[in-house]
Structure 1
Amino acid sequence: MKKNIAIIMGGYSSEFEISLKSGQVVYETLDKNKFNCYRIHIFKDKWVFVNDSNEEFPVNKSDFSILVDGTKIHFDCIFNAVHGSPGEDGYLQGYFELLNLPHTSCNMYKAALTFNKRDCLSTLKPYGVKTAESYYVNLGDDIDENAIVKKVGLPCFVKANRAGSSFGITKVYKKDEIALALEVAFKEDDEVIIESFLDGTEVSVGVITYKGEITVLPITEIVSDNDFFDYKAKYLGQSQEITPARLSDSDTEKVRHLAKKVYQALRLKGFSRSEYIFKDGEPHLVEINTVPGLTAASILPQQAAAAGISLSDLFENAIAEALRD
């Protein structure tokens, strides 16, 4: 019997448009001979099933079911394609876990932890994971720009602590630019992390659970046409994404080993994509994404293809792993 798969997409953050594209790719890719696929749009004002005629049917939040033409439909598995809140920060994971519904992402606590850059980097430091120098600011704090510059130097990055797709990030070159950069970051989150600039080769490493085994995918080198790997570089083609990365065998092994170590230390499941910058020959962790982009332009699908894993195989495996747990 075919499994009923809810592909959730959208979300409450600035990433909702990217999420809709990711979810649509999953919907178009999954084999309809194997799965009954349902596009579920998750927004603050509505949770709805959207059929091929773009008709909307409300989701019953008490059991995450839908009623279509008098038939109540329950789901065997949730394919999570919601970037940002509430799909990447633990809220939906906790909801589905309370309902005992299998889903393709990591569990509630690990999602919340990895989405919080400050907490995640702090958790990993005892494991010997190197990171940029950082300074933390919360909305309403008194801002000591001299202390910030003394701690992280210039240039530096001012980032929304809990946001993705480079929303709320500014590269700052002068002390008097910090205040405006904080305004930009606080539009996305009430917590900010300010990090030192790491000048080196930037790479992205996909780590997934594939056929029951933790698998490190081929590494992608990021060469942005812009000042850094911003939204335009990620989604509007203003970058080169070179897979496999142009690294020495030694550096390749270093970052592969580290990415797998991070995945294991955090006890992640499903998809992950972590970003690293080499400084003084050592990879420094920048951030981890547990619901990475799944569009044709996204890095993880490119890496899977380089490993000989098709999109359909990648997505079907995610469902199989979720149902295995």
Structure 2
Amino acid sequence: MTTKRLIYLYSDSSFTPWKENIFARTVANFLASTPEEYYPYVTHFVGFTSEFANFLKQFDIVFNVCYGFGDEGQHDIVRWLEDNGIKHTASNYQSQILAKDKLHLPEVCAKVGVATPAIISLSEVSTSTFTRFIAKPRFGSLHQNMLVFDKENIPYQQLLEKDEMIIQPYLSGREFTVGVIPNEEASDYICLNPLEIRPDDEREVYIAGQQYGRTEKVLYHDLDAETCQAMQEMVLRVHHALGLRGMSRTDVRVSDGKIYILDINTMPNLDSNSFLPFIAQHQGISLQEIFRRILLRLEKEEQVRERGLVVSDFM
């Protein structure tokens, strides 16, 4: 069997806009987890130059774990790779932009019969029937720069000072995150078991992370099987509707018995402390197995294209 040349493309956390978890430890784990049929290399992203593009073209596949560079986001890296005809593992530019844009998420979800919190303009907040709201960056991620407020105390100045914020009702309830990876044969995608994000006390307002107090990862929760299955089916429908590939991770809230899609991460972090590998490991799926499935899925998609079919027919 011919060994293929694979290169991991990344930027250190300090060079990415949202300071994602990717360190020397992370990259060392990537190298150790490379499937046997690939010979691994690794490189920092060094800039949007023709010289660097020509360097990357030497490899059979770029395993894209570059979450940005300077002020440029992960979708900008993807656009540059695609403009230079470089084959990589992440979702394409159009899918990433569509998934990151929370302003248009309700429209995408509605098309596949999935609920997501409504978008409310600042001028409508004071007359809304909702009493608590959350403001978040339109294109932001990682649960950063969010602001929760009540209708009786609207922080107009803060909201006006922030660029491209969207406002939604704050949904009280339970929050889960659901990872999506290819199935074992890489013939379709499957959901991993939902992981609950739970506040470390009984407070009603919480956000994953520590912005509104500490939260905990709960693998073994008491979510009933019917709700769990419905949640996974919804997440898969959105994954397919957006045309995502490789993997994704979606945040979900269950409020008053209804399931809402909150946010879609098209390139989940893969550090050992990150959600997706943590969940997969507890289902007996190693990082090497995730990589094998992603790369096999990519190969099968290429075969579909070579036969003159569109990849959506392969879903």
Please state which band the TM-score falls in when normalised by the shorter chain. 0.7 to 0.9
- The gaps in structure 1 that reach 5 residues or longer are 48-58, 67-71, 137-142
What is the Cα deviation at residue 265 of structure 1?
A: 1.9
* Structure 1 equivalent of residue 87 of structure 2: 102
User: Within 5 A, what are the aligned runs for 1:166-245?
Assistant: 166-182=143-159, 186=162, 190-210=163-183, 211-225=186-200, 227-232=205-210, 238-245=214-221
* Structure 2 equivalent of residue 307 of structure 1: 283
Superposed CA deviations along residues 237-269 of structure 1, whole A, max 9, x for unmatched, are: 932211244211111111011111111222221
What is the Cα deviation at residue 213 of structure 1?
A: 2.0
Structure 1 length-normalised TM: 0.78
User: Within 5 A, what are the aligned runs for 1:13-32?
Assistant: 14-20=17-23, 24=27, 26-31=29-34
Q: Percent identity?
A: 21
Structure 2 length-normalised TM: 0.80
* Structure 2 equivalent of residue 262 of structure 1: 238
* Cα gap change, 1:26 to 1:182, in 2 (>3 Å): farther
Q: When you count strand as a share of all residues, which structure comes out higher?
A: 1
8 Å contact from structure 1 (residues 170, 181) kept in 2: no
The question of 1:37 aligning with 2:14 is answered: no
Alpha-carbon separation, structure 1, partners of 2:28 and 2:251: 23
* Structure 2 equivalent of residue 154 of structure 1: 131
Alpha-carbon separation, structure 2, partners of 1:167 and 1:21: 24
The question of 1:61 aligning with 2:45 is answered: no
SS of 1:151 mapped into structure 2: coil
Superposed CA deviations along residues 282-323 of structure 1, whole A, max 9, x for unmatched, are: 211101100112122211112211322101211233233334
* Structure 1 equivalent of residue 66 of structure 2: 82
* Cα gap change, 1:17 to 1:221, in 2 (>3 Å): closer
8 Å contact from structure 1 (residues 135, 152) kept in 2: no
SS of 2:248 mapped into structure 1: strand
* Cα gap change, 1:206 to 1:168, in 2 (>3 Å): same
- The gaps in structure 2 that reach 5 residues or longer are 302-315
Aligned residues: 290
8 Å contact from structure 1 (residues 276, 283) kept in 2: yes
> Aligned-pair RMSD on alpha carbons?
3.0
* Cα gap change, 1:100 to 1:117, in 2 (>3 Å): same
What is the Cα deviation at residue 25 of structure 1?
A: 5.6
Superposed CA deviations along residues 7-51 of structure 1, whole A, max 9, x for unmatched, are: 22358753134244795265343349642221323xxxx43xxxx
Alpha-carbon separation, structure 2, partners of 1:302 and 1:135: 35
